[in-house]
């Protein structure tokens, strides 16, 4: 009898809280981020950003009187786990929109789930496969890698550089970059004279660079994330190579300059997301105020600089809340709202979605920058 | 193929190889004293680098003081590891011990991740970073440090193992633990010594390589594996053959990346490892084991 009464008590408490949350009308946003594991450098700032934004939005009274609630799970960078957690978010937590996952592999695993359950997904991963071909419920915030590559090619054309050596890391980022750069180079009339790779944990790339030095290309394009590119930058200086060195947007943070050393990094050029270089931007830039605000509030809350990766979650949050404000908070309304996003100024760029483009960023998402005396300088 | 390219490949290979050799000797010393492969060896390499970083930044020590400080701390971790994880074991069969070292390495790596975060960190070079031209090739002052320190450590090792009582006792343990125990050598103390020496050497390797390769909580994994390869090529000897094993590995990797394809760099190391294990399990320079007739 006692057991039964306890059970009834529990049940009533659960029902009561459930009805309460219904009555207050919260909008539930799901988050799937690789907070721990190998991709934690992506997931951690994304989670922090989303938490920060939800808190700020609620302090301002939520959206149209409705409070926001973020339900965030750690996928540990594991696609299987991401898939299970996506189902959990939809079935148990009843979220109306999902932000994340952090990596392309996880996003691809989650896509069938959201397509079937008809819940909009705003991925924070960069892989081109996620939104190409377009899937009706899937969006993503990071610009495609080939846009960054195009930015480099545009600059190389202006400097009359026709041949280049490619040096890519053997992980997902490097492999997809290598593929896209080679296709793009052919289209734009560039010649790839060397196609070298290195492992993500390699500690010395002088062998590859010596080979490249012998070929004498007009430029070197390196595609990877830290620490590889920093090692390469040091090696280039050691070998006395004077060929212009381009890096990917994957190293667009002060950390790269710090690791490579101010001396070795001098003159390295790369396409950077605007957040990394906002201090060098014109005050009149449409994104300037937002970028500064994000960086400062992130620094205040967590004591570290905001990163481009956290910016992806920022974009996703702005897109989602923008759609809710405009269209309404049901999954179908959010989906339509997202698809009709136009001129939304955010961290990664200015988003213009359409039924054919579920990413919505163009070349203006990046700025070509050069390392000058340990800091970024804009290239015109 | 130009001569200066070949020279560059060889020089780069030798300096990476010297690091593999230092780590490899760490593996061999513990193997000889205890009969186990200490898979946590790579973590001491990581600790060496990261502890130096902390001594430089938190304690504000100059570099010359930060290095011994970091070696001392890493050695302390080595001692604790032996005392807390290896010694208390009731049934010290090799397979149990090996699995314990794998567990220990995951634990140390996890703790390091919590303490130092997931970022990569840089340590300043010992004496500037102006490249030095050698023929048509270039090396950095740090490469000279690496080669010099490796040579010094090998000489100290040689003196210790052949000219001191405890070194000789440790060699006796390597030949036959039971017999060594019977003539009055404290085998367990020798095991502790072996952990002290190899964790200190791992830390030194981690420190001298950090200015070139940078350091992070997970650098120990790959470096540890390459060091293990070097030790296998050298037939698990704690002397010159492991050093040669490391140098061969470094040069082959570098030549392979330069002349064949950089995609096969790691594959080369592991193909050599497999070939050695298949064809000459006693190591490249070892004599076939004739004791068990």
Q: Is the pLDDT of residue B254 over 50?
A: yes
Average pLDDT of the segment spanning B135-143:
87
Query: Hey, are the CB atoms on B262 and A263 less than 8 Å from each other?
Result: no
Q: Is the pLDDT of residue B68 over 80?
A: yes
CB A135 within 8 A of CB A115: yes
How many angstroms separate the CA atoms of A192 and A161, rounded? 12
How many angstroms separate the CA atoms of B199 and A336, rounded? 60
Q: Is B140 on the interface with A (CB under 8 A)?
A: yes
Parent domain of A186 = 145-279+365-378
Q: How confident is the model at residue A21 (pLDDT cuts 50, 70, 90)?
A: very low
- The pLDDT tens digits of the residues spanning B88-102 come to 887 778 788 889 999
Q: Is the pLDDT of residue A3 over 70?
A: no
Q: Which two tokens stand for residue A36?
A: 């721990």
Residue of B nearest to A232 (CA): B213
Q: Is the pLDDT of residue A322 over 90?
A: yes
How many angstroms separate the CA atoms of A353 and A366, rounded? 18
Average pLDDT of the segment spanning A177-203:
91
Q: Is the pLDDT of residue B17 over 60?
A: yes
At B11 the three-state DSSP class reads: helix
Ramachandran bin of A327, using left for φ above 0, alpha for ψ from -120 to 50, beta for the remaining angles: alpha
Parent domain of B212 = 3-117+135-279
Average pLDDT of the segment spanning B228-238:
87
Q: Is the pLDDT of residue A179 over 80?
A: yes
Residue A254: inside a domain: yes
pLDDT score for B115 = 92
Residue B292: inside a domain: no
Which pairs with CB-CB distance under 8 Å and at least 24 residues apart come from A232-236?
A232/A167, A232/A198, A232/A205, A233/A260, A233/A261, A233/A264, A233/A265, A233/A268, A234/A260, A234/A261, A234/A264, A234/B129, A234/B212, A235/A204, A235/A205, A235/A206, A235/A209, A236/A209, A236/A264
How many angstroms separate the CA atoms of B135 and B125, rounded? 23
- The pLDDT tens digits of the residues spanning A141-167 come to 998 888 899 999 999 999 999 999 999
Radius of gyration of chain B (CA): 19
Average pLDDT, chain B: 88
How many angstroms separate the CA atoms of A231 and B187, rounded? 44
Query: Hey, are the CB atoms on A237 and B129 less than 8 Å from each other?
Result: yes
Residues A213 and A356 in one domain: no
Q: How confident is the model at residue A4 (pLDDT cuts 50, 70, 90)?
A: low
pLDDT score for B97 = 85
Q: Which of A201, A214, A215, A255 to mutate to test the interface with B (most CBs of B within 10 A)?
A: A201
Residues A202 and A264 in one domain: yes
More confident residue, A21 or B233: B233
Residue B164: inside a domain: yes
Average pLDDT of the segment spanning B251-256:
90
pLDDT score for B200 = 94
Count of helices and strands (H, E) across chain B: 11, 2
Q: Which residues contact A18 (CB under 8 A, 6 or more apart)?
A: none
Q: Is the pLDDT of residue B35 over 90?
A: no
CB A181 within 8 A of CB A165: no
Q: Is the pLDDT of residue A8 over 70?
A: no
Q: How confident is the model at residue B287 (pLDDT cuts 50, 70, 90)?
A: low
- The pLDDT tens digits of the residues spanning A273-285 come to 888 888 888 888 8
Set of chain A residues whose Cβ sits within 8 Å of the Cβ of B257: 207-208
Residue B123: inside a domain: no
Which CATH number do you get for residue A298?
A: 3.40.50.2300
Distances B77 to A307, B32, B72, B219 between C-alpha atoms, Å: 34, 20, 9, 17
**Total Cβ atoms within 10 A of residue A210:** 27
Longest dimension (CA), chain A: 86
pLDDT score for A102 = 92
Which CATH number do you get for residue B76?
A: 1.10.3470
Radius of gyration of chain A (CA): 23
Residue A316: inside a domain: yes
Average pLDDT of the segment spanning B209-224:
90
Residue B269: inside a domain: yes
Number of domains in chain B: 1
At B234 the three-state DSSP class reads: coil
- The pLDDT tens digits of the residues spanning A80-129 come to 999 999 999 999 999 999 998 998 889 999 999 999 999 999 999 988 88
In this prediction the ipTM stands at 0.82
Residues A259 and A189 in one domain: yes
Residue of B nearest to A175 (CA): B263
- The pLDDT tens digits of the residues spanning A49-76 come to 999 999 999 999 888 888 999 999 999 9
Tokens 């060889």, residue located: B10
Q: How confident is the model at residue B289 (pLDDT cuts 50, 70, 90)?
A: low
Of B121, B138, B214, nearest to A239 by CB-CB distance is B138
Residues A164 and A207 in one domain: yes
pLDDT score for B120 = 87
Q: Is the pLDDT of residue B129 over 50?
A: yes
pLDDT score for B291 = 42
Residues A178 and A126 in one domain: no
How many angstroms separate the CA atoms of A379 and A158, rounded? 11
Distances A179 to A173, A184, B128, B267 between C-alpha atoms, Å: 10, 9, 38, 22
Distances A318 to A48, A49, A166, A238 between C-alpha atoms, Å: 15, 11, 36, 45
Of B140, B214, B219, nearest to A238 by CB-CB distance is B140
């Amino acid at each position: 009898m006692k057991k039964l009464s306890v059970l009834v008590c529990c049940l009533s408490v659960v029902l009561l809280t459930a009805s309460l949350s219904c009555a207050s009308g919260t909008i539930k946003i799901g988050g799937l981020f690789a907070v721990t594991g190998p991709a934690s450098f992506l997931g951690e700032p994304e989670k922090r950003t989303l938490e920060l934004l939800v808190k700020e939005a609620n302090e301002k009274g939520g959206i149209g009187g409705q409070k926001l609630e973020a339900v965030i799970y750690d996928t540990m960078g594991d696609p299987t786990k991401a898939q299970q957690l996506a189902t959990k978010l939809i079935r148990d937590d009843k979220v109306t929109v999902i932000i994340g996952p952090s990596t392309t592999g996880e996003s691809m695993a989650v896509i069938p789930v959201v397509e079937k359950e008809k819940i909009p997904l705003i991925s924070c991963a960069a892989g081109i496969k996620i939104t190409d071909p377009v899937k009706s419920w899937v969006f993503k915030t990071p610009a495609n890698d080939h846009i960054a590559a195009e930015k480099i090619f545009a600059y190389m054309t202006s400097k009359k550089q026709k041949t280049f050596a490619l040096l890519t890391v053997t992980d997902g980022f490097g492999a997809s970059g290598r593929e896209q750069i080679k296709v793009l180079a052919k289209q734009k009339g560039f010649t790839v004279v060397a196609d070298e790779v290195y492992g993500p944990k390699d500690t010395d790339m002088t062998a590859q660079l010596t080979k490249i030095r012998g070929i004498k290309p007009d430029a070197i394009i390196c595609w990877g994330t830290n620490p590889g590119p920093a090692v390469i930058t040091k090696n280039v200086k050691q070998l006395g190579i004077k060929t212009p060195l381009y890096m990917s947007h994957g190293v667009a943070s002060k950390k790269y300059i710090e690791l490579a050393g101010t001396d070795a990094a001098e003159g390295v050029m790369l396409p950077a997301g605007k957040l990394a270089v906002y201090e060098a931007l014109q005050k009149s830039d449409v994104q300037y105020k937002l970028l500064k605000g994000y960086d400062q509030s992130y620094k205040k809350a967590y004591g570290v600089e905001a990163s481009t990766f956290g910016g992806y979650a920022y974009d996703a949050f702005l897109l989602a809340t923008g759609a809710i404000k405009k269209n309404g908070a049901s999954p179908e309304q959010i989906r339509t709202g997202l698809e009709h996003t136009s001129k939304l100024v955010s961290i990664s760029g200015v988003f213009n979605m359409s039924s054919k483009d579920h990413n919505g960023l163009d070349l203006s998402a990046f700025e070509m920058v050069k390392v000058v005396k340990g800091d970024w300088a804009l290239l015109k | 193929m130009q001569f200066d390219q070949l020279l560059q490949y060889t020089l780069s290979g030798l300096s990476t190889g010297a690091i593999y050799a230092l780590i490899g000797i760490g593996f061999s010393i513990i193997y000889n004293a205890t009969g186990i492969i200490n898979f946590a060896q790579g973590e001491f390499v990581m600790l060496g680098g990261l502890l130096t970083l902390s001594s430089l930044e938190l304690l504000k020590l100059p570099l010359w003081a930060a290095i011994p400080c970091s070696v001392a701390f890493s050695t302390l971790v080595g001692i604790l590891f032996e005392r807390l994880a290896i010694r208390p074991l009731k049934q010290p069969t090799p397979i149990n011990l090996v699995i314990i070292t794998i567990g220990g390495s995951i634990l140390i790596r996890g703790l390091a991740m919590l303490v130092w975060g997931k970022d990569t960190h840089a340590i300043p070079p010992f004496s500037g970073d102006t490249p030095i031209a050698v023929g048509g090739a270039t090396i950095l002052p740090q490469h000279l440090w690496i080669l010099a320190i490796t040579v010094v450590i090998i000489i100290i090792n040689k003196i210790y193992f052949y000219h001191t009582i405890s070194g000789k006792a440790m060699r006796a343990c390597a030949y036959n633990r039971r017999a060594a125990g019977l003539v009055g050598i404290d085998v367990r103390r020798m095991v502790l010594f072996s952990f002290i020496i190899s964790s200190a050497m791992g830390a030194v390797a981690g420190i001298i390589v950090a200015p070139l390769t940078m350091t992070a909580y997970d650098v120990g994994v790959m470096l540890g594996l390459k060091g293990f390869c070097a030790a296998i090529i050298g037939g698990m000897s704690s002397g010159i053959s492991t050093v040669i094993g490391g140098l061969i590995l470094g040069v082959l990797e570098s030549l392979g990346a330069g002349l064949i394809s950089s995609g096969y760099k790691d594959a080369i190391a592991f193909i050599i490892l497999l070939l050695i294990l298949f064809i000459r399990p006693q190591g490249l320079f070892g004599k076939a084991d004739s004791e068990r007739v």
